[in-house]
Amino acid sequence: MKSFFEEFKKFAMRGNVVDMAVGIVIGAAFGKIVASLVENIVTPTIGLVLGGIDLTSFTINIGSASIAYGTFLQSIIDFIIIAFAIFLVIKGMNKLQRHEDKKTEAQQKVPSEEVILLREIRDTLKKGE
């Protein structure tokens, strides 16, 4: 049983799992912020532009059923804002990654001291043959 918990601890403390957990927590908090932004700022502003209309009150009543498409529109606005924010974050991360890749390429072009020494030894051995 002890090895089971040790194995679980190793699994849980791996970088990817911890990073994913942090990402989920931050994502959930960010979702709440965006939902509040849309509900309290964006939707009322759109309502004012449209003449004081509350988007969340848009419904279609069919018999006893009520289809709240205004709330659905608000959810679409939430999604668009979240998707755009994620796009910006990924775009920034890709830019940083390209910068790191260029640095790595530049470092790889300059041979290390070991490589230079090994080449000299190889060339000396070739001359001796």
Structural domains in the chain?
Answer: 2-94 (1.10.1200.120)
**Burial class of 53 by CB neighbour count within 10 A (0 to 12, 13 to 18, 19+):** middle
Tens of pLDDT, residues 32-90: 998 888 888 888 888 888 888 887 888 999 999 999 998 898 889 888 988 888 888 88
Tens of pLDDT, residues 4-22: 888 887 777 776 777 888 8
Distance, in Å, from the CA atom of 49 to the CA atom of 73, rounded to the nearest integer, reads 16
Q: Of residues 54 and 29, which shows the higher confidence score?
A: 29
Average pLDDT over residues 89-115: 82
Q: 129 pLDDT exceeds 70? A: no
Q: pLDDT at position 69, please?
A: 92
Average pLDDT over residues 101-108: 75
End-to-end, the C-alpha distance of the chain in Å comes to 63
Distance, in Å, from the CA atom of 56 to the CA atom of 63, rounded to the nearest integer, reads 20
- Which whole-number Å values give the CA distances from 50 to 45, 55, 91, 95, in the listed order? 9, 10, 34, 39
Q: 3 pLDDT exceeds 90? A: no
Record the pTM.
Answer: 0.56
